[in-house]
Chains A and B, each alone.
Chain A
């Protein structure tokens, strides 16, 4: 079949913060750059990031990139690569100033400087006291960032392909990445984008869990394509959860609700936190509350027909207090749970929020994978940035406001490195003869299959399996069962059937393709989590508890290493953490406590 070939210097997949930031570097360097996106760029999930972007500008009080680096290493529970973390914290000021030049409407101090506010985990003087480091544009930081960077790209002649879905990475016989296959949703036409550099900026994959704050589009498309191209995924066991998302919807209920007197109850109406944290009760820290909730559900005291959620009760509070101190909570509860919290408790469940792992990259944005000798080797022509990438700066746990910083710094860095490569001047490498075969075969199978499994059924199976077996608090027996079960679910995904076979605007087909990406992320997560026999950061196991020998269950002797999951054979390998920063002394290992 004759497939059209579009030739560009660089192709970027994803038009959220990281993709837009990379594209600016490439287009402004005069390179012919295409950006592919499932949605219009300013509707990317970056819009949901409201808190701000961390940078040690020191506008409100003394601050220093070394303090920011210390906080990030500690936050990562020492799994973050210290060279990448130093790079990010030092570059933070530069990327914030760039945004200022793009017209980003940051909040200001009276003297006109960028206003900065405190945020959890960000401290001065190596963990001494909170520092004001977050730069924000009211509660719409992500939104303002997307708009500023999109405009800048339009000016720089970046060519956008909106409502296109990338299908597969194209590698030649020597392993060089030479492009992607993609489909235009409106026409259903498949096209080869032939490029000298490919940058993935496809965001997170939180839809693998039944309860997730992630928007519906976060289906791990970049991770699926990477895994199918034989490149491993790194540290996929590490996912950040929030204790109280509305059950069935995922929308967050702020922790302020418990601060104002909200009580968590199980199906017996029992205030169960009294058993887990007799003093702090419902005000215990996020991980303690999430762990207690998971245990209640596991032991059969969850609510509802499937006994899979708990209740957050504020019916005993004065309605005037609810309306005054917890604005918006009543509306969210009514809108998404169908429950007025003044009269009835809100159904809640621990909810997935952010993916720390991803496509293995270096701080220059290049994707790396083990070579023949097992050492990390660059995958030529391939870059990744943002939530889909694992640089690794977040390690086992991300600090708030470091996600927007990550996508700015590594988006820019990936763009800069690609520009260097392309200016060095190698021509387009030849496309392999079978460039589009794999993508075509998947599409043909979807078009032809009769009597298979529906997309809705397969998605529910993925999300249900992940939520029940690899949630916020993990049990050895459940992980083992989950690892077997997710491979059964994979068989369903291999047998997907879509009823709608039409060529144009076939959303059933697009959702099936997304599901094929989700399953790769789900397997990577479950199998990596089952394999890591310690607790670290966001990965907490019941059989790796807090002991004097292993504080917080962390075992540096055996597990201070990055996981690599390979799709082929579901193989796991490990690689060392970069403990050596670019300059100066490493942040020495110690127990993480706040």
Chain B
């Protein structure tokens, strides 16, 4: 992904209405995004465009992701976890 597009995505992932989404998407950009295929990148961009509450319901498992293209990305976000012992 070219620089400006990535920076825009970074802004849109880390300036959300909900802290939970800021933290999760921000962490994924650092740790997981670089390993995605072009198709997965596209799916992530689509997912990042969801409303905050909707996205948080998917990440926290309160709702199942029914879109088969996006579900694997949701699963990756769920696996992208924090560690308070090092973060704090």
Nearest Cβ in chain A — how far from B23, in angstroms? 5
Check A46 against B17 for contact (C-beta < 8 Å).
yes
A452 at the interface (CB under 8 A from B): no
Check B19 against A507 for contact (C-beta < 8 Å).
no
Q: B residues within 8 A CB of A507?
A: 7, 10-11
Q: B residues within 8 A CB of A570?
A: none
Check A48 against B81 for contact (C-beta < 8 Å).
no
Q: What is the bound-complex CA distance between A328 and B63, given in angstroms?
A: 12
B41 at the interface (CB under 8 A from A): no
A186-B8, A309-B88 given; A214·B19 CB < 8 A: yes
B52 at the interface (CB under 8 A from A): yes
Check B14 against A335 for contact (C-beta < 8 Å).
no
A338-B83, A507-B10, A510-B11 given; A331·B19 CB < 8 A: no
Check A43 against B82 for contact (C-beta < 8 Å).
no
A418 at the interface (CB under 8 A from B): no
Check A45 against B17 for contact (C-beta < 8 Å).
yes
Interface residues of A in 197-231 (CB under 8 A from B): 212-217
B73 at the interface (CB under 8 A from A): no
Check A335 against B24 for contact (C-beta < 8 Å).
yes
Q: B residues within 8 A CB of A339?
A: 84
Q: What is the bound-complex CA distance between A345 and B19, given in angstroms?
A: 22
Residue in A47, A335, A347 whose CB lies within 8 Å of B78:
A335
B61 at the interface (CB under 8 A from A): yes
Q: What is the bound-complex CA distance between A98 and B9, given in angstroms?
A: 36
Q: B residues within 8 A CB of A247?
A: 84, 87-88
Selected interface stretch from A300-308, A561-569, A574-582:
A300-308
Number of residues from B at the complex interface, CB < 8 A? 35
Q: A residues within 8 A CB of B88?
A: 247-248, 304, 306, 308-309, 347, 349
A592 at the interface (CB under 8 A from B): no
Q: B residues within 8 A CB of A39?
A: 12, 15-17
Nearest Cβ in chain B — how far from A214, in angstroms? 7
Q: B8's closest neighbor in chain A, by CB?
A: A505
Residue in B4, B10, B23, B60 whose CB lies within 8 Å of A504:
B4
Q: A residues within 8 A CB of B52?
A: 43, 47, 143
A502-B3, A504-B4 given; A43·B19 CB < 8 A: no
| Per-position binary interface string of chain B over residues 52-88, scored 1 when its CB falls under 8 Å from any chain A CB and 0 otherwise | 1100000111100000000000000010011111111
B40 at the interface (CB under 8 A from A): no
B36 at the interface (CB under 8 A from A): no
Q: What is the bound-complex CA distance between A54 and B60, given in angstroms?
A: 29
Check A338 against B61 for contact (C-beta < 8 Å).
no
Q: B residues within 8 A CB of A334?
A: 81
Q: A residues within 8 A CB of B19?
A: 48, 212-216, 249-251
Q: What is the bound-complex CA distance between A347 and B82, given in angstroms?
A: 12
Q: A residues within 8 A CB of B8?
A: 185-186, 505
Check B14 against A185 for contact (C-beta < 8 Å).
no
Residue in A142, A250, A328, A504 whose CB lies within 8 Å of B62:
A328
Check A304 against B81 for contact (C-beta < 8 Å).
no
| Per-position binary interface string of chain A over residues 314-358, scored 1 when its CB falls under 8 Å from any chain B CB and 0 otherwise | 000000000000001001101111110000000101000000000
Check A249 against B53 for contact (C-beta < 8 Å).
no
| Per-position binary interface string of chain A over residues 385-411, scored 1 when its CB falls under 8 Å from any chain B CB and 0 otherwise | 000000000000000000000000000
Q: B2's closest neighbor in chain A, by CB?
A: A505
Q: By DSSP majority rule, is chain A's interface helix, strand, loop, or mixed? A: loop
Q: A residues within 8 A CB of B17?
A: 39, 42-48, 142-143, 215
Q: What is the bound-complex CA distance between A47 and B51, given in angstroms?
A: 10
Check A248 against B4 for contact (C-beta < 8 Å).
no
| Per-position binary interface string of chain B over residues 17-30, scored 1 when its CB falls under 8 Å from any chain A CB and 0 otherwise | 11110111010000
Q: A residues within 8 A CB of B59?
A: 335
A506 at the interface (CB under 8 A from B): yes
Nearest Cβ in chain B — how far from A38, in angstroms? 6
Q: A residues within 8 A CB of B14?
A: 216
Q: What is the bound-complex CA distance between A199 and B62, given in angstroms?
A: 38
Q: B4's closest neighbor in chain A, by CB?
A: A505
Q: A residues within 8 A CB of B23?
A: 249-251, 336
Q: B residues within 8 A CB of A136?
A: none
Q: A residues within 8 A CB of B5?
A: 505
A163 at the interface (CB under 8 A from B): yes
Q: B residues within 8 A CB of A246?
A: 82, 84
Nearest Cβ in chain A — how far from B88, in angstroms? 4
Check A335 against B82 for contact (C-beta < 8 Å).
yes
Q: B residues within 8 A CB of A215?
A: 15-19, 22
Q: What is the bound-complex CA distance between A250 and B23, given in angstroms?
A: 9
Q: What is the bound-complex CA distance between A45 and B22, given in angstroms?
A: 11
A328-B62, A332-B60, A502-B3 given; A47·B18 CB < 8 A: yes
**Which positions in A face B, CB cutoff 8 Å?**
38-39, 42-48, 140, 142-143, 163, 185-186, 212-217, 246-251, 304-306, 308-309, 328, 331-332, 334-339, 347, 349, 502, 504-507, 510
Can you name 19 extra interface pairs (CB under 8 A) apart from A143-B53, A331-B60? A39-B16, A46-B17, A47-B52, A48-B17, A143-B51, A143-B52, A216-B15, A216-B26, A248-B87, A248-B88, A249-B23, A249-B84, A251-B20, A251-B23, A304-B84, A328-B62, A331-B61, A335-B82, A337-B83
Q: List 30 A-B contacts (CB under 8 A).
A: A38-B15, A39-B15, A39-B16, A42-B51, A43-B16, A45-B17, A47-B51, A48-B17, A143-B17, A163-B11, A215-B18, A216-B16, A246-B84, A247-B88, A248-B88, A249-B19, A251-B19, A251-B23, A304-B84, A305-B86, A309-B88, A328-B62, A334-B81, A335-B20, A338-B81, A347-B84, A349-B88, A505-B3, A506-B7, A507-B10
Q: Which 5 A-B pairs have the closest CB atoms?
A: A248-B87, A47-B17, A347-B84, A338-B83, A248-B88
